[in-house]
Amino acid sequence: MTHPQSPSTWIHTTDYHTAGEPFRIVHEGLPELPGETVGERRVAAIDNAGGIDDLRALLCNEPRGHADMYGGFITPPDDVGAAFGVLFWHKDGFSTACGHGTIALGVWATDTGLVESDPDGITEVVIDVPSGRVAALVERSGGKLVGATFRNVASFVIARGVSVQTSRGEVTADLSYSGAIYASVRAQDLDLTVAPGQYTDLIALGREIKWALNESAEAQFADDPRLSGVYGTILWDDLGRHDGGPRQRNITVFADGEVDRSPCGSGTGARVALLADSGVLGPDETLEHRSIVDTVFSASWDAAAERADGTATVVPHVTGTAYQTGEHRFMLDPADALGTGFTLR
């Protein structure tokens, strides 16, 4: 990548966290990418057009980031129906969906005035992402943030009871789609529970399951092959029910061993699709979804049109909060032998 050599070429970012999960926003100084849609620009980014994959690595890798860093590059929208587009990125590349990032982007857009915000109501921020068009519904009272709801693309169950061989024996996984494909496995089936003390084992088993299923027939997305493959493994615990619906805790192990500190926005959507299909989460109920660090999203759903093959779909609504953690200026000194950095797990 080009080595910034003066303050005018430094890389400016605005950082947020959503329920504990980082989201680093880059909204200026980006190369123009080929493509008419965000999905097409993601393909160009994967090919490192304009050196943008080098920029991702610089901001994600140590010493400027870490193995669990996450962020997004702001792009033009697909058309005038959205405020902007975004390319989501992590240590292993560019993802197709990101719910916690969408929540952070909605708050950022209304914090900065990019989208005019109702100080005493809900402001819709429409965003184009590689998996389609989503929205953040940002609620404020007296100008202060109350919360933001991520409205995802239509989501659905792909397959249930898919057998997976792991180092702890054979288990079954349920696959569902919510902007990306996730495999859900009950943690106790692996003799685990979603707790910080079991973090290392949870990562290891999450990776095993992802790679065991990634090339399976169930993980091939016929509508758009760019969305194929298992993006993440959701290991979950049942916490019973509250007055308004089910309670669960999860850890989402995505990409190649990266862990979502939040309850995972698009992963929560994938759980909603499964729970709505099974009747565990009714149309007037709310899922209380907790993370490994005990932060919370609440989630519900609206029915959507069936797919062409008759599969039922739902539109998940996932609510959380996001807060700014800082503004940063990064550079790469041309004499720095570490270049775009490194990751340690």
Rg (CA), the chain: 19
Q: Is 264 a catalytic residue?
A: no
DSSP-based three-state secondary structure for 57: helix
Which secondary-structure segment (H or E) carries 111?
Answer: helix 99-112
The single-letter code of the amino acid at 330 is: F
Active-site residue (options: 59, 98, 274, 322): 98
Partners of residue 88 on adjacent β-strands: 72, 95
Joined together, the tokens standing for residue 145 give 């943030």
Partners of residue 70 on adjacent β-strands: 90
Joined together, the tokens standing for residue 272 give 């909603």
Interior CA angle at 203 toward 201 and 208, to 5°? 95
Indicate the length of the chain as a whole number: 345
- Do 49 and 56 form a contact (C-beta atoms < 8 A)? no
Interior CA angle at 136 toward 15 and 227, to 5°? 85
- Do 167 and 192 form a contact (C-beta atoms < 8 A)? no
Phi and psi at residue 76, in whole multiples of 5°? -65, 155
Distance, in Å, from the CA atom of 290 to the CA atom of 164, rounded to the nearest integer, reads 25
Checking phi first, is residue 247 left (phi over 0); if not, alpha (psi -120 to 50) or beta? beta
DSSP string, 242-301: ETTEEEEEEEEEETTTEE-SSS-HHHHHHHHHHHHHHTSS-TT--EEEE-TT--EEEEEE
- Do 124 and 135 form a contact (C-beta atoms < 8 A)? yes
Catalytic residues: 98
